[in-house]
Structure formats: structure tokens, C-alpha cells
Amino acid sequence: MSSLRVGLTGGIGAGKSEVSRRLQSYGAIVIDADQVARQVVAPGTPGLADVVAAFGDAVLAPDGSLDRKRLGEMVFVDGSLRAKLNAIIHPLVGRRMQELEQAAGDAAILVHDIPLLAENHLAGNFDEVVVVDVPPRLQAERLAKERGMTAEQAEARMRAQATREERLAVATIVVDNSGSLAELDREAGDLWAELRRRAKRRAGRESGGSAG
């Protein structure tokens, strides 16, 4: 039986990681694109060498690792640099995620946690796309409170991502995270139950029998 492949996304500050953690605790296999993106540019990797070749030694920290903050500042203000970075990182991340997926075997529910799923037009790669949604005003408030960003910084980060409408357009399931963490617990529980239902239905279709 093949896994139900789920893409999980949400704008910065929407609480996608909270949902991801809860799904993992329920038993989903979670593959985190951000984590993988860090691994593929770890010291000594060809990925890091490619980034330095493209952006210069200024993106290296004193210990030889990638200075993500410095690189982030460079690419956030320049779309062409962002595209250049993505052209290096995304193929590496894609390959690594494929390897992790193969290693997961026949896990019933496989969740790919991908911040830029809508931006990179990846929705078609998944059986379901879960979007963690909050109003932009609340996103900006959370970025200020939880990450210490100024209103301008929050605005710039949000502008660099897909719009709320673009994300919702690719969603097959929407999780509303505009309430408390207790409410999110309930939402995540409902989401897990729904994913299990859909996985079961899919397995039934694959075996040619009823989903029972």
C-alpha cells in the first residue's frame, strides 16, 4: 500500500510547525523541508560549496558554516538573488526528501512540511495539501511577539511569500489557527482523523475493495 502523501504549508508565523509537531505525535512520518534545506548546505557539503561560489565568502560564518541570517538579508531584498539561491537549494532538497520518503517505506501518512509549497507550485505532487491559515494581521502580530520583528520586517517577510489567497487556492484541507493553542490541539486532532479517513479511502481504492 502506498502512503497518503500530504503537503503541509502556511505563511510565516501561521503556526505550521505547531501543526507538524502534533501530526508527528499522532504517528505521521514528517519530512521537514527546512531541516533538509539546512542539511544540504551543512559544512563540507557540495551544496554549501555551490552557495559560496554563487554568493561569495561573505555568506560564511567565522566557523565555516552558512550564515543563514546574512544570506537571508541578501536574498529577501532581491528577487533575482532569491531565484539564484532557490535554483541551487531546491533540487538538492527535492532529492534528499525523496530519499527520506523511500526510507519511510509504507508509512500510512507521510507529511511533507514545506513553507514555500504554493510559491514553488508543488501542490500537484501531493494527494492532499493542508494549509495552516491565519489572517495577515495576526501573522504580523505573532512575528513581532514571537520573533521580535519590526512591522516593516514582518511585512517584508510576508511579501516575499505567496499571498493568503494563493495558498488557500491550493488547499484541500484548511486548518484555522487564529485561536489559542488549545483550539489548535482540537483542530490538529480533527485533521489527523480526516487524514486517516482519506488514507483509508485511498487504500480501499488501490486494493479495489471497499474502504470498510
DSSP 31-90: EEHHHHHHHTTSTT-HHHHHHHHHH-GGGB-TTSSB-HHHHHHHHHT-HHHHHHHHHHHH
Average pLDDT, the chain: 91
Confidence band of 81 (pLDDT split at 50, 70, 90): very high
Does residue 77 share a domain with residue 2?
Answer: no
Domain boundary (88, 106, 124) is at 106
Residues 91 and 114 in one domain: no
pLDDT for 209: 57
Do 47 and 151 lie in one domain? The reply is no
pLDDT in tens, 158-170: 988 999 999 999 9
- Cell numbers standing for residue 190: 480533527
Longest CA span, the chain: 60
Residue 212 above 60 pLDDT?
Answer: no
Least Cα distance to 134 among 89, 181, 88 occurs for: 181
Task: Yes or no: say if 155 and 144 are a contact pair by the CB < 8 Å rule.
Answer: no
88 and 114 co-located in one domain: no
Residue that terminates a domain, selected from 73, 91, 106: 106
1 pLDDT band (50/70/90 cuts)? low
Q: Quick one: average pLDDT of 68-95? A: 90
pLDDT tens, residue by residue, 122-154: 999 999 999 999 999 999 999 999 999 999 989
Give the number of other Cβ atoms within 10 Å of residue 68's Cβ: 13
For 29-53, what is each residue's pLDDT tens digit? 999 988 999 999 999 999 999 999 9
Q: Which of 68-72, 103-107, 162-166 has the lowest mean pLDDT?
A: 103-107
